[in-house]
Amino acid sequence: MKTELNGKIVLITGATSGIGEATAKAFAGEGANLILIGRRKERLDNLAAELADKDGVKTLTRRLDVRDKNKVEEVINSLPDEWKKIDILVNNAGLGRGLNPLYEDNIDGWEEMIDTNVKGLLYVTRFVVPGMVERKSGHVINIGSIAGHEAYKGGGVYCATKHAVTAITRSLRLDLLGKGVRVSTVDPGMVETEFSLVRFYGDEQKAKKVYEGLTPLTGDDIAEAVIFCATRPPHANINEMIIMPSAQANAFFAHRKT
Ligand SMILES: NC(=O)c1ccc[n+]([C@@H]2O[C@H](COP(=O)([O-])OP(=O)(O)OC[C@H]3O[C@@H](n4cnc5c(N)ncnc54)[C@H](OP(=O)(O)O)[C@@H]3O)[C@@H](O)[C@H]2O)c1
C-alpha cells in the first residue's frame, strides 16, 4: 500500500546491509524514490535493481565512504537536478569495532568508529540539511543506539560515538526549530545484521554468540520504526524511539535460554 511517502526522495546511508537495506526496502514499499549510499557498489546496484523492479520506484546509487568529507560534499552537491530535493535523510551508516577494555583496545578501531558514526553522520547532515531549510521541508532520521543512552563494558568508544549521535540529534532539533525540518532518532538494542561480524573483524563464532539463546530484533523491525517516524502528520515528531528485543532489558542484561 502506498502512503504519503509515495514519490518522496529518501537518502539512506549504509544501504548495503542490515538496517539500511531493510529501510530501503520499506521505503520502496511505500513508493519512495531512493538514493542509496554505501561503499559496496555491487550490493547497492543489486538492491537498486531489485527495488526498481519490485516496487517500480526510481533509484540512484552512489559509492561513498562517509568518512571522506570532500567526497560527501561532491556527491551531495552534484546530484542530478531531479534528485536534489531530498525529503528524508536516514543517517544509518555506522559500525562497532571490538569489545575490549579501553586501556588495551585497538586505536585504529576507535578512529574508524569516530570517523564513521560521528564525523560521517555530521558531513552528510551538513551537506543535505541546507536544501531542506531552503525548502522549509524535510526530516532527518538518525539511527542511534541504546549505546547512546547507556555505557557498557568494552563499549567505551562505540558508546561515546552513539552518545554523540544523541547529542547531535538533540542540538540539531533546536537548530531547526521553526524551519520546517523534523529530526528524529531511532535507537535499537540488539539487531541481527552484519554488525557483530564487523565488530569482531569477521569472526563468525563470536558474532553468532551475541544473539545466542534469544530472539534479536531484525532490520525489518527497525525499518518499520523509521517508517512510523516518517509518516507522522506534519504537526507531530518522534524525537527519540528506543527499541529492544523483548529478551533484552538494557545494554548489558539479556535473558538467554540455555
Ligand atoms: N545491529 C545492532 O545491534 C545495532 C544496534 C544499535 C544500533 N545499530 C546501528 O545501526 C546502524 C546500521 O548497522 P547495522 O546493524 O545494519 O550493521 P551492518 O549490517 O554492518 O550495516 C552497516 C552499514 O553501514 C555501512 N557503512 C559502514 N561504514 C561506512 C562508511 N565509512 N561509509 C559508508 N557506509 C558505511 C555499511 O556499508 P558498506 O560496508 O558497504 O560501506 C553497511 O551498509 C549503525 O549505525 C549501527 O551503529 C546497530
Give the pLDDT score at 1. Answer: 53
How far, in Å, is the centroid of ligand 1 from the Cα of 158? Answer: 12
How far, in Å, is the centroid of ligand 1 from the Cα of 235? Answer: 30
pLDDT values of the chain reduced to their tens digit, one per residue, 258 residues: 567 999 999 999 999 999 999 999 999 999 999 999 999 999 999 999 999 999 999 999 999 999 999 999 999 999 999 999 999 999 999 999 999 999 999 999 999 999 999 999 999 999 999 999 999 999 999 999 999 999 999 999 999 999 999 999 999 999 999 999 999 999 999 999 999 999 999 999 999 999 999 999 999 999 999 999 999 999 999 999 999 999 999 998 999 997
Tell me the pLDDT tens digit for each residue of 172-198: 999 999 999 999 999 999 999 999 999
What's the grid cell of residue 90? 536516514
Positions marked active-site: 158
What's the grid cell of residue 205? 563464532
Give the pLDDT score at 217. Answer: 98
In the three-class reduction of DSSP (H, G, I as helix; E, B as strand; rest coil), residue 86 is classed as coil
Tell me the pLDDT tens digit for each residue of 141-165: 999 999 999 999 999 999 999 999 9
What's the grid cell of residue 208? 553468532
Tell me the pLDDT tens digit for each residue of 223-232: 999 999 999 9
User: Which segments of the chain are extended strands (E)?
Assistant: 9-13, 33-38, 59-63, 88-91, 138-143, 181-188, 240-243
Give the pLDDT score at 258. Answer: 79
In the three-class reduction of DSSP (H, G, I as helix; E, B as strand; rest coil), residue 179 is classed as coil
How far, in Å, is the centroid of ligand 1 from the Cα of 170? Answer: 21
CA nearest to 127, candidates 42, 183, 70: 70
Domains, the chain, in order of start with CATH, read 9-243 (3.40.50.720)
Question: ∠251-94-232 over CA atoms, to 5°?
Answer: 80
Q: Ligand 1 atom 7: the closest Cα is on which residue?
A: 145
Q: Relative to the CA of 112, which ligand 1 atom is closest?
A: 31
Residues with Cβ within 8 Å of 60's Cβ and at least 6 positions away in sequence, in order, are: 33, 34, 35, 36, 48, 79, 80, 83
